[in-house]
Structure 1
Amino acid sequence: MVLAPVLLLPTDSVPPLTPDGDEARRWAEQELSNPAYDAAQPTAFDRIARAVGDFLESLFATRLDGDWGPWAALVAAIVIVLVIIAAFLVWGVPRATGRTRASAPLFGGDEERSAAELRRDAEGFAGRGDWDSAVVLRFRALARALIERGAVDTPPGATVHAFARAASRAFPSQADALEAAAGAFDDVRYLRRPGTEALYRRVAAVDEQLRAARPLLSDAAGVRA
């Protein structure tokens, strides 16, 4: 019987089937350095949400009887509130997408000032004898104050007389004074009639009277342009 020759390889040329400790650690580090593993890692929010979900699941999986039921509901409510607060701290308060009602265009001008700021600026122009600017700004202060109080709501393009009519529904005792103040604004702003101290004092008096009065309507009166 003829035996086939057996090829014997040197032991150094045979790759090891079981790596030693250092080799296994090096292989593991190379594999974990793959970016695919980083993308698969859960985020901090994922871990928080999972922990909260597991807690609530274990909480409500338990039979809620006796005195444990109200306490469990209270704990669950506290956890939900804490999660909401954490979300606000991480992502911040949502920003308003639109402009506030107080900063809307006001009688042909893109007015951003508050009623107090408009009154202060109007008084400044009156002190310098610029009655045109003083009359215009004081009526805008009057209108802005009513808007800030929620007594009247003015859409873009509303005229001063439409505003005066809407304000009269909230302050019926000031209807004539409001119309006179609107006429003063109209004369100075659009008809180019010179402003006077008397006109300014008239508008300022109406503004002060409305500041001390309470609106008749609980909801803001609408104004048609």
Structure 2
Amino acid sequence: MRIEIPVDPDAEEARRWLVDELSKPEYRAAEPSWFDRLMQAIGDAVSDLFSGAGGVPQPLIIGIVVVAVVALVVIGLLVFGLPRLRRRRAGSVPLFDDADVRGLDELRRAAVLAAQQGDWPLAIEERYRALVRGLAERELVRIHPGTTAHAIAVAAASPFPGHAAALLEASRAFDDVRYLGHGGGAAAYERLTALEAELAGTTPATAVRVGVPT
């Protein structure tokens, strides 16, 4: 005796099968993103504009479309382009007039390596450079030709008033090892490292401040 298995589901079962199928990851991954939906909405609006233009002058329609495209380009540049461009520019400014254009991560690695080797003067110098580079990339200070470590500390005290004394101490530690030939030490390096990390995770109290030569 043959037993036939039914392959025609009723309406409720068919709906359940469809829901189960569409819930699979490959279908969800294919769903349009917010950007896709935005572009679709803009395309529909432009299409509706042309289809219902009737007596609207064609130059006016073209002008509206051009303005809309320019607005989208400007918005995209502001959202995705300018912050990266500003960070690149801040990272390309030499520090302390010696053509040092290393980025924040590279300076941090150099400081850690020097500390591991027990070269405390170099470790302190590299860590302070990392501190300054981080402030510059966040546009909290601006580096000019001739800007000193002390001037940067004074400028950075405006967005970080609670760290004013520590910033001045850090600038003195940098000047001591760089210009006065002092040996520094592990304790000074650890204080500077803690300050750099704390500033990196602290929201500034004010907007951009400018470091000027002294």
The alignment's TM-score, normalised by the length of structure 2, stands at: 0.61
The aligned counterpart of 1:117 is 106
* Counterpart contact for 1:104–1:156, Cα < 8 Å: no
Paired with 2:189 and 2:166, the residues of 1 have a C-alpha distance of: 13
Paired with 2:67 and 2:151, the residues of 1 have a C-alpha distance of: 49
The aligned counterpart of 1:60 is none
Does the alignment pair 1:134 with 2:146? no
The aligned counterpart of 2:21 is none
**Equivalent of 1:162 in 138, 145, 151:** 151
Q: Which has the larger radius of gyration?
A: 1
Distance 1:76-1:156 versus aligned 2 partners, 3 A rule = closer
* 1:223 partner amino acid: G
* Counterpart contact for 2:111–2:122, Cα < 8 Å: yes
Name structure 2 gaps, 5 residues minimum: 1-53, 74-84
> 2:134 aligns to what SS in structure 1?
helix
The alignment's TM-score, normalised by the length of structure 1, stands at: 0.58
Matches within 5 A, 1:1-225: 65-66=55-56, 71-76=61-66, 100-218=89-207, 220-225=208-213
- Give the drift of 1:100: 3.0
Quick one: percent identity of the two aligned structures? 39
* Counterpart contact for 1:166–1:221, Cα < 8 Å: yes
* Counterpart contact for 2:140–2:210, Cα < 8 Å: no
- Give the drift of 1:108: 3.7
- Give the drift of 1:101: 3.5
The aligned counterpart of 1:23 is none
* 2:145 partner amino acid: P
Paired with 1:223 and 1:192, the residues of 2 have a C-alpha distance of: 25
Name structure 1 gaps, 5 residues minimum: 1-63, 85-95
The runs of 4+ residues in structure 1 deviating greater than 6 Å are: none
* Counterpart contact for 1:161–1:179, Cα < 8 Å: yes
* Counterpart contact for 2:90–2:139, Cα < 8 Å: no
Paired with 2:110 and 2:123, the residues of 1 have a C-alpha distance of: 8
- Give the drift of 1:187: 0.6
* 1:191 partner amino acid: L
> 1:222 aligns to what SS in structure 2?
coil
> 2:95 aligns to what SS in structure 1?
coil
